[in-house]
Amino acid sequence: MNFVLSEYHQIKREEFRRFGAEEIDTGDHFPAENLQKAARRGYMGLPLPREWGGGGEDFLTYTILIEELSRVCSSTGAIIAVHTSVGTFPLFYYGTEEQKQRYLAGLAGGELLGAFALTEAGAGSDAAALSASAVRKDDGYLLNGTKLFITSGGEADLYTVFVTLDRSLGHKGITAFLIENGTPGLTSGRPEKKMGLNRSNTTELRMEDLYVPVSNRLSAEGSGFGIAMSLLDGGRIGIAAQALGMAGAVIDFTTTYLKSRQEETGRKTDQYAAFELADLASRLEAARLLVYRAALVKESGRKCSREASMAKYYTSDLAVAAATRCIDLCGFSAAAADHPLARSFCDAKATQIYEGTNQIQRLVVARELLKS
């Protein structure tokens, strides 16, 4: 096994880092401009085939992109990761030729923004407990119900929405639909007031007698749960890459701060601070190996649930721990709401929760270890 990135991947990392440093805006509004710049570079569909308008890159290159963008703007990294992994891949893997012709090139090229609507108030970690419903009507379905915590809610152009045809069937009744923004009966709530990732809109998605033709059903009736579960591994690798970028950024910031303080005072960094930094840097390298391994296993076409969950919970825990420790090392000023480390702490916390809480990730790993 080669633990060193290839020359090609090193070149792509440098390209993505330059793009982040030179072109990514870090304001306080939805980063539409960042998404447009990323689309012009071909980054909105990086791992999708070129024949569908994508970049044709491998999953490791995509993972490095999300890592580097998240170093600069964690919200932009989150939006592009969700758009790609669970906003576009459902259509790519499970869509009909006609559905792909309608939407896939637009998603891959960044003309359309994709979103994923699975979570409900009573169906978070237990995704099989959906209550949002669909009933047959004429040549389509009527959808009713409410989805929660939709990344890019209100901004997305195409939603992959999961509803049940019959709650008594449990996960076997869940079916997925492609729903365009602006469809009558579809409304988004106000953006949630979150502790972090505030440039990424997170909203409710409400459906009231929303009519969807059969042509917008994704795969067969009852296949929705399998679709959703098959996509989460790739999504979790994307979250791990976000957390990796955040952790790397706060460690770099703190290293620079401690060096500058040495120069100003003429005194070496005390041993406690130096050891804390060494510990964080070592854990960062371990996290990077976990994340990149998960990306390589996915790229190989093998099942990667264990690797994805390990990478997600280890790296997101590190991102929170790194932000916490670095605030301690930099002192009281780093706790101010507008300080980069304070913002990173708030942003990092979300990575422990979405795409499956870290408790769920540990459950996934344990099941893989203990199954007979």
Catalytic-residue membership of 355? yes
Domain that holds residue 137: 114-222
**Which one of 109, 143, 171 terminates a domain?**
109
Does 130 reside within a domain?
yes
Please, what are the averages of pLDDT over each run of 10 residues along the chain (372 residues)?
Answer: 87 98 93 97 97 96 98 97 96 97 97 96 82 95 97 97 94 96 96 93 97 97 95 95 98 96 89 95 98 97 96 98 96 90 96 94 95 80
Instruction: Check: CB of residue 216 under 8 Å from CB of residue 179.
Output: yes
Does 1 reside within a domain?
no
- pLDDT at residue 318 in the model: 98
Does 2 reside within a domain?
no
- Dig out the tokens for 105 from the structure: 């090139």
Considering the domain architecture, whether residues 27 and 147 belong to the same structural domain is answered as: no
Considering the domain architecture, whether residues 41 and 102 belong to the same structural domain is answered as: yes
- Decide: helix, strand or coil at residue 37: helix
Considering the domain architecture, whether residues 231 and 347 belong to the same structural domain is answered as: yes
Considering the domain architecture, whether residues 231 and 258 belong to the same structural domain is answered as: yes
Half-sphere exposure of 269 (CA within 13 A, CB side): 17
**Cα–Cα distance between 292 and 9 in angstroms, integer?**
11
Considering the domain architecture, whether residues 129 and 249 belong to the same structural domain is answered as: no
Considering the domain architecture, whether residues 211 and 261 belong to the same structural domain is answered as: no
Considering the domain architecture, whether residues 105 and 168 belong to the same structural domain is answered as: no
Catalytic choice (22, 307, 355, 368): 355
- What is the residue whose two structure tokens read 């041993």? 271
**Which one of 85, 109, 133 terminates a domain?**
109
Considering the domain architecture, whether residues 249 and 359 belong to the same structural domain is answered as: yes
Considering the domain architecture, whether residues 29 and 120 belong to the same structural domain is answered as: no
Q: Find the CATH number of the domain harbouring 211.
A: 2.40.110.10
Considering the domain architecture, whether residues 132 and 207 belong to the same structural domain is answered as: yes
**Which one of 206, 222, 238 terminates a domain?**
222
Size of the chain, expressed as the number of residues it contains: 372
- pLDDT at residue 123 in the model: 78
**Cα–Cα distance between 285 and 209 in angstroms, integer?**
50
Number of separate helices (H) and strands (E) present in the chain: 11, 8
Choose among 177, 190, 202, 200: nearest CA to 80: 200
How many domains does the chain fold into?
3
Instruction: Check: CB of residue 142 under 8 Å from CB of residue 210.
Output: yes
- What is the residue whose two structure tokens read 């344990």? 366
**Cα–Cα distance between 205 and 212 in angstroms, integer?**
15
Q: Is the dihedral of CA 190, 195, 199, 205 positive or negative?
A: negative
Q: Find the CATH number of the domain harbouring 284.
A: 1.20.140.10
Considering the domain architecture, whether residues 262 and 353 belong to the same structural domain is answered as: yes
In terms of DSSP bridges, do strands 158-164 and 114-117 run parallel, antiparallel, or are they unpaired? parallel
b/e string for 33-60 if b means 16 or more Cβ within 10 A?
ebbebbbeebbbbbbbeeebbbbebbbb
- Decide: helix, strand or coil at residue 259: helix
- Beta-carbon count within 10 A of 11 CB: 11
- pLDDT at residue 28 in the model: 87
- pLDDT at residue 2 in the model: 72
- Dig out the tokens for 26 from the structure: 């870090």
- pLDDT at residue 1 in the model: 61
